[in-house]
């Protein structure tokens, strides 16, 4: 598949794959994900059966550029450029911290027809791992020192809450090199999430059809966040998927997204 590019407002080239026909759906990945990840490639193919599916590399990842200094507003402008390339309007699906970025885009008033969110990792209540208060500074110091592997380890263990033994096992798997390749963008996702508290005012300002999806077997903190996000966005629908976790099956999720975007 030929790689497409579009220039964002600040001139950064954003790379994306585009296939299918019909209403446009833009996929927004989470921390360290990019369009070459197998799951996102599969979702792109599944959505392309009914839509013009757009799977892009967020800035700093894959084939996209990375103009400094970073700001969340620049990532919103990237999505705006993709919407323009899609014909002026599009549906948006965001996964994890990519769902939080999609919330920023919707609140900014971009021409989004429908919004779908899968488990934005806001912290609601007392359940779940609480990132250190200085997590952004710690991530940036590791990235600036060229310690990408340590940055990935810090993110997974100290922010996500994956037990250290599992992180150690992950380091010997082929996927680790892909994670290291985009570790320098971890501070970007930290900026998108802020202090991880529910952005009530921003969510309440969203005025478009929205579907919030979670997995019934996800961690309690994620399930709490999904329910609170759905309750806060006016008129949002809530859908909990049986037997699914944060690492959702794209084959299970795709029909849910398709039904919502076509309805």
Residue 195 φ/ψ, nearest 5 degrees? -95, 10
- Residue-level pLDDT at 1: 61
What span, in angstroms and rounded, lies between the C-alpha atoms of 198 and 168?
A: 31
Q: Are 93 and 55 in contact (CB under 8 A)?
A: no
Residue 2's CB is within 10 A of a number of other CB atoms, namely 5
Domains parsed from the chain with CATH numbers: 4-126+196-262 (3.40.50.1820), 135-190 (no CATH)
In 3D space, the residue among 85, 83, 134 whose CA is nearest the CA of residue 110 turns out to be 83
Q: How do beta strands 13-20 and 4-7 pair?
A: antiparallel
The rounded average pLDDT for each run of 10 residues, N- to C-terminus, in the chain (263 residues) is 90 97 97 91 97 98 96 98 98 98 98 98 82 92 96 93 89 90 96 95 98 97 96 98 97 98 96
**Which residues, other chains included, contact 187 with Cβ-Cβ below 8 Å and sequence gap of 6+?**
70, 136, 139, 140, 143
Total-model pTM: 0.96
- Residue-level pLDDT at 163: 87
- Residue-level pLDDT at 40: 93
Three-state SS letters, the chain: CCCEEEECCCCCEEEEEEEECCCEEEEECCCCCCCCCHHHHHHHHHHCCCCEEEEECCCCCCCCCCCCCCCHHHHHHHHHHHHHHHCCCEEEEEECHHHHHHHHHHHCCCCEEEEEEECCCCECCCCCCCCCCCHHHHHHHHHHCCCHHHHHHHHHHHHHCCCHHHHHHHCCCCHHHHHHHCHHHHHHHHHHHCCCECCHHHHHCCCCCEEEEEECCCCHHHHHHHHHHHHHCCCCEEEEECCCCCCCCHHHHHHHHHHHHHC
């Amino acid at each position: 598949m030929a790689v497409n590019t579009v220039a964002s407002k600040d001139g950064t080239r954003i790379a994306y794959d585009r296939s299918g026909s019909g209403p446009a759906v833009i996929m927004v990945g989470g921390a360290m994900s990019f369009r070459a990840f197998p799951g996102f490639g599969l979702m792109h193919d599944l959505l392309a059966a009914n839509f013009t599916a757009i799977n892009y590399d967020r800035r700093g990842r894959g084939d996209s550029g990375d103009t400094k200094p970073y700001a969340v507003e620049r990532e919103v402008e990237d999505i705006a450029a993709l919407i323009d390339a899609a014909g002026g309007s599009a549906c948006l699906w965001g996964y994890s911290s990519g769902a939080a970025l999609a919330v920023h885009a919707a609140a900014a008033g971009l021409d989004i027809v429908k919004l779908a969110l899968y488990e934005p990792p806001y912290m609601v209540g007392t359940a779940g791992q609480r990132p250190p208060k200085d997590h952004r500074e710690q991530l940036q110091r590791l990235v600036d020192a060229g310690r990408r592997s340590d940055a990935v380890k810090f993110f997974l263990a100290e922010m996500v809450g994956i037990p250290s033994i599992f992180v150690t096992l992950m380091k010997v798997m082929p996927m680790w090199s892909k994670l290291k390749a985009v570790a320098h963008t971890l501070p970007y996702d930290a900026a998108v999430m802020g202090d991880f508290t529910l952005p009530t005012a921003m969510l309440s300002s969203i005025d478009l059809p929205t579907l919030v999806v979670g997995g019934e077997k996800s961690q309690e903190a994620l399930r709490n966040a999904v329910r609170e996000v759905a309750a806060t966005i006016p008129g949002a629908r809530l859908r909990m998927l049986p037997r699914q976790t944060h690492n959702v099956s794209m084959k299970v999720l795709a029909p849910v997204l398709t039904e919502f975007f076509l309805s």
